[in-house]
Structures are given as C-alpha cells and as structure tokens.
C-alpha cells in the first residue's frame, strides 16, 4: 500500500466552512491561551506554597507539603477529570449544574493545569529559598525587617533568579501539558490535530506540521526565558546566564 501524500489539503475547505489551516491556527491560539493563563495561576499559587513551606509555622508547612504531595502524585488527566466531572457532583446541586452547563470547558481546564503545575513550582521555589545561606534571613531580621519583608526584599529576588532555569523547563512543560486539556473539551492544537486526522486521513503531513509547531513553541519559550534570565542577572553572582 502506498501512502498518498497531499500537502495542499491544508487549504481545502472543511465541514464548517473554514479551511484546515485555520483550524490549526485556532488550535494554536487556544494552546497559547490555556498555557499562559495556567502559567500565571501556577506561578502565583506555586510561589505562595513554596514560601509557606519555608516559614517557621508548622501548620503552613503542613498545608504546603500536603498540597504538593497530592497534586504531584496524581496524573494530570485524572486531575482534569476530577475538576471537570467529579467536582460539580460534590457541590450543592444548583452550583454544580451551573458549573457543568454554563461554565466554559476551558475554565476548569486552565485551573486544573495551573494547580497541577503549581505543585511543581512550589517545590522549585522552596528549594530556591532553601539554597540561600541562612545568614541572609537572620541579617534581614537583625536589621529590623519583618519576616514578610525579609521574603520580599532579601530572599525571593535571589531565589527566583536561582530557579529560573528550572522555571524555564516548567514553562515549556506547561505548553506541552496543555495538550491534555483536549480530554475535557478544550479545542486546542492537539484536539484540532486529532480532528483533522479523522476528517482527512493525511496523518503524515499533519503530524509533521503540528510537531513542528510544538517544537517552535517550546523553542520560543526557551528563548524568552533565556532573555529574561540574562536581563535580571546579578553581575558577578550567577554566572550561568541562559546562553
């Protein structure tokens, strides 16, 4: 059997009147939207969790540790199904129905992906803070800063710079992981990929194109983070700028 190559099918008109390449573009748009929104959530929540896991308060540490263990040890697709299918069931009926029927699918997907990634970022923020010499906290406190001020002005600015390389790979991961949200109804790039295969059977062409797009996405995120890493570098302190 010979495979029938057809590179022009991207310009063919699909069932809904759009062309196939427009499906890909709209999928790409959703992939970027979902990934960026989830990244914002993950960075915010992950930073809070990472910080509270380094505080002297046992309860806060416990909460942070529990969160990280739970969200790290359950597969992403299972977590998304929990938010999408199980969570509305345990809410009061009225609210649950609203979540199921009126809330756009992309909302639980973005939060699910964000909360999942937050656990990983929390782990990195924690190790970033712990990698700083203990004397820095004490020096800050001795100068009369409050503990929140020590975090804000002394620990976090340095900790973030230290963990930038790992944050880079986490940002690349979130773009890749956003493909899993197709399972809960987000019309992102992987969904369109699957759909175009079902409609046209041109597996090889579309695989080459979509793989290239994902590759370029990962590469762009990598370059943007390297740029940030270079810009915020403290002279003479961290030598491994993202080259």
Partner 1 sequence: MSGFDFAVITANWAYLAKGLRYTFQVTAFAMAGGIILGTVLAMMRLSSVKPVSLFAAAYVNLFRSIPLVQVILAFYLIIPIALAIFTGEMKPIGAENSAYFTFTIFEAAYYSEIMRAGIQSIPKGQVGAGYAVGFTYGQVMRFVVLPQAFRNMLPILLTQTIILFQDISLVYAIGATDFFGAADKINQRDLRPVEMYMTVAVVYFVICFSLSRVVRHLQQKIAIIR
Q: Which residues bind partner 1 (CB under 8 A)?
A: 1, 3, 69-70, 72-79, 81-82, 85-86, 89-90, 96, 172, 176-180, 182-183, 190, 193-194, 197, 203-204, 207, 210-211, 214-215, 217-219
Whether the CB-CB separation of 164 and 225 falls below 8 Å is answered with yes
**What is the b/e burial string over 103-121, where b = at least 16 CB atoms within 10 angstroms of the residue's CB?**
eeebebbbbbbbbbbbbbb
Taking the least distance from each CB to partner 1, the nearer of 120 and 156 is 120
Q: How far is the CB of 20 from partner 1 (least distance, A)?
A: 17
> Structure tokens of 83?
């938010």
Residue partners of 179: CB distance under 8 A and separation at least 6:
31, 188, 189, 190
Q: How far is the CB of 9 from partner 1 (least distance, A)?
A: 16
Whether the CB-CB separation of 166 and 124 falls below 8 Å is answered with yes
> Structure tokens of 125?
């923020």
Taking the least distance from each CB to partner 1, the nearer of 5 and 59 is 5
Give the residue among 37, 63, 60 at the shortest CA–CA distance from 181: 37
Taking the least distance from each CB to partner 1, the nearer of 12 and 89 is 89
Taking the least distance from each CB to partner 1, the nearer of 13 and 95 is 95
Q: How far is the CB of 65 from partner 1 (least distance, A)?
A: 12
Q: How far is the CB of 154 from partner 1 (least distance, A)?
A: 29
Taking the least distance from each CB to partner 1, the nearer of 99 and 147 is 99
Q: How far is the CB of 215 from partner 1 (least distance, A)?
A: 5
Q: How far is the CB of 19 from partner 1 (least distance, A)?
A: 22
Give the residue among 227, 230, 193, 228 at the shortest CA–CA distance from 210: 193
Residue partners of 132: CB distance under 8 A and separation at least 6:
155, 158, 159, 162
């Amino acid at each position: 059997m010979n495979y029938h190559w057809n590179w022009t099918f991207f310009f063919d008109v699909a069932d809904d009147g759009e062309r196939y390449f427009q499906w890909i573009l709209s999928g790409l748009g959703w992939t970027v939207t979902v990934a960026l929104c989830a990244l914002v959530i993950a960075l915010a929540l992950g930073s809070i969790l990472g910080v509270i896991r380094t505080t002297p308060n046992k309860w806060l540490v416990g909460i942070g540790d529990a969160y990280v263990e739970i969200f790290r040890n359950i597969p992403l697709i299972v977590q998304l199904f929990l938010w999408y299918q199980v969570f509305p069931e345990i809410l009061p009926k009225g609210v649950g129905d609203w979540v199921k029927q009126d809330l756009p699918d992309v909302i639980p997907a973005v939060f699910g992906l964000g909360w999942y990634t937050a656990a990983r970022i929390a782990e990195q923020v924690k190790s970033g803070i712990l990698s700083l010499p203990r004397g820095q906290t004490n020096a800050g406190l001795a100068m009369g800063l409050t503990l929140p001020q020590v975090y804000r002005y002394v620990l976090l600015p340095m900790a973030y710079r230290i963990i930038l390389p790992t944050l880079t790979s986490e940002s690349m991961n979130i773009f890749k992981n956003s493909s899993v949200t197709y399972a809960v109804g987000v019309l992102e790039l992987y969904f369109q990929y699957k759909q175009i295969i079902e409609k046209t059977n041109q597996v090889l062409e579309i695989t080459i194109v979509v793989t290239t797009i994902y590759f370029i996405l990962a590469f762009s995120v990598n370059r943007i983070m390297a740029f940030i890493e270079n810009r915020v570098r403290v002279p003479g302190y961290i030598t491994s700028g993202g080259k």
